[in-house]
Amino acid sequence: MKGICILGSTGSIGVSTLDVVARHPDRYRVVALTANGNIDRLFEQCREHRPRYAVVIRDEVAADLRERLAAAGLGDIDVLAGAEALERVAALPEVDSVMAAIVGAAGLLPTLAAAKAGKDVLLANKEALVMSGQLFMAEVVRSGARLLPIDSEHNAVFQCMPADYRAGTRAVGVRRILLTASGGPFLNKPLAELESVTPEQAVAHPNWVMGRKISVDSATMMNKGLEVIEACLLFDADPDDVQVVVHRQSVIHSMVDYVDGTVLAQMGTPDMRIPIAHALAWPQRFDSGAEPLDLFGVQQLNFERPDLERFPCLRLAYEAVRAGGTAPAILNAANEVAVAAFLDHGLPFSAIPRVIEHCMEVVATGPADSIEAVLQADEETRKVAQKYIT
């Protein structure tokens, strides 16, 4: 039986992970659950799954949760608080697998701690890898950690890759990685109307149930841009060999195009429990709880090129990965600030890429040769972005 720590247990990925884990109580036990502010959901998860540790960010929230758990007869659950506690539970000896599902830069250090400790890292937080790049990959190699992608696209690529893919895509006969994208809720919306898009409209994704920040990233296609950067790192691919394909139905989750003309695709219903179950069971498979794919209901599959005028964030992501160094960290930090401002009704939807482009022009790019350099670029970019917005 394996012990699991879920970083970000109250978000959509965390909830889906617990659903899958609950279906296989003979294989997994929940050691630690962590959350930011949704204490009600975390309390219910603690009641159901009885972790050894529950971690929140703020001391006052921890005190509240500790009191509620004691009143419910669950005083044996150790409630911790703070960023260092996240890193601690990610590296616990009794933890075998860490689901890294904290959204944004906040997930970097605990995810890196899991990699340094040699855990099975189930990577749902793309920002951690985007920010730290080769630093993160080097820790995986050094510690012997096993990195299993959870994003439906990267998990699909992983399933379609040969076993020795870490030698580099071209070395194993891969011509292109084809990352599919739904196009989000505004694929066909007139460009002139994007200025007046509301947060409520932006988070209404047509195919997937996701958190608010990720849903906005999908609407701007920054989500796909971050995935391009992540794919280059995970599969040692050149940016020119990673192509985004708009596929409205979200049935094919990504493809790998080989030099002999073979294209392998991974298909399934749009349910995140599928890649989660794949990573949890790998190299075996078990039931995810997802509905089987009804090909007769699908009937047709459509593909088109992304419009970079409509989705400038995708263009900016390609520019960042080609620039290298701290450029991806600058891109990510600027996007996080801009998206937060938009969700708070403090920035128009169409201004999100303008904030990012400004930061990429103003903040100097340097080598990402230490975690301190990455965090410094992140901090400086957030200040520049906030100043630009206000």
Confidence of residue 368 (pLDDT cuts 50, 70, 90): very high
Q: Is the backbone peptide bond immediately before 283 cis, with ω within 30 degrees of 0?
A: yes
Task: Give the confidence band of 273 by pLDDT, cuts at 50, 70, 90.
Answer: very high
pLDDT at 206: 63
Question: In this model, does residue 258 exceed pLDDT 60?
Answer: yes
Query: Are 276 and 214 a contacting pair, CB within 8 Å?
Result: no
Q: Is 55 exposed, middle or buried (0-12, 13-18, 19+ CB in 10 A)?
A: buried
Tell me the pLDDT tens digit for each residue of 238-255.
999 999 999 999 999 999
In the prediction, which pLDDT does 193 show? Answer: 86
Least confident of 62-71, 205-214, 377-386: 205-214
Q: How far apart are CA 189 and CA 378, in angstroms?
A: 33
Query: pLDDT for 310-321, tens place per residue?
Result: 999 999 999 999
Mean pLDDT over 190-216 rounds to 80
Strands (DSSP E) contained in the chain are: 2-7, 28-34, 53-56, 78-81, 97-100, 120-123, 146-149, 174-181, 242-246, 252-258, 263-267
Model confidence at 377, pLDDT cuts 50, 70, 90, reads very high
pLDDT digits 0-9 by tens, 322-348: 999 999 999 999 999 999 999 999 999
Residue 35 scores a pLDDT above 60? yes
Residue 187 pLDDT = 87
137-193 pLDDT per residue, tens: 999 999 999 999 999 999 999 999 998 877 677 888 999 999 999 988 888 888 888
| pLDDT value at residue 103 | 83
For the beta carbon of residue 40, count every other beta carbon within 10 angstroms. 12
pLDDT at 208 over 60: no
The length of the chain in residues reads 390
Q: What is the pLDDT of residue 171?
A: 84
CA–CA separation, 245 and 178 (whole Å)? 6
Angle (deg, nearest 10), helices 327-343 and 222-234: 150
As a whole-number percent, the residues of the chain with pLDDT over 90 amount to 83
Q: What percent of the chain stands above pLDDT 70?
A: 98
Lowest mean pLDDT among 212-216, 348-352, 383-387: 212-216
pTM of this prediction? 0.91
Residues 76 and 70: their CA atoms lie apart, in Å, by 8
Please determine, for residue 37, whether its predicted confidence score (pLDDT) is greater than 90: no
Please name each of the domains of the chain with its CATH number: 2-149 (3.40.50.720), 156-323 (no CATH)
Q: Which pLDDT score is estimated for 214? A: 85
Average pLDDT along the chain: 94
H or E segment at 59? helix 59-71
- Phi then psi for 181, rounded to 5 degrees? -140, 135
For 19-31, what is the mean pLDDT? 97
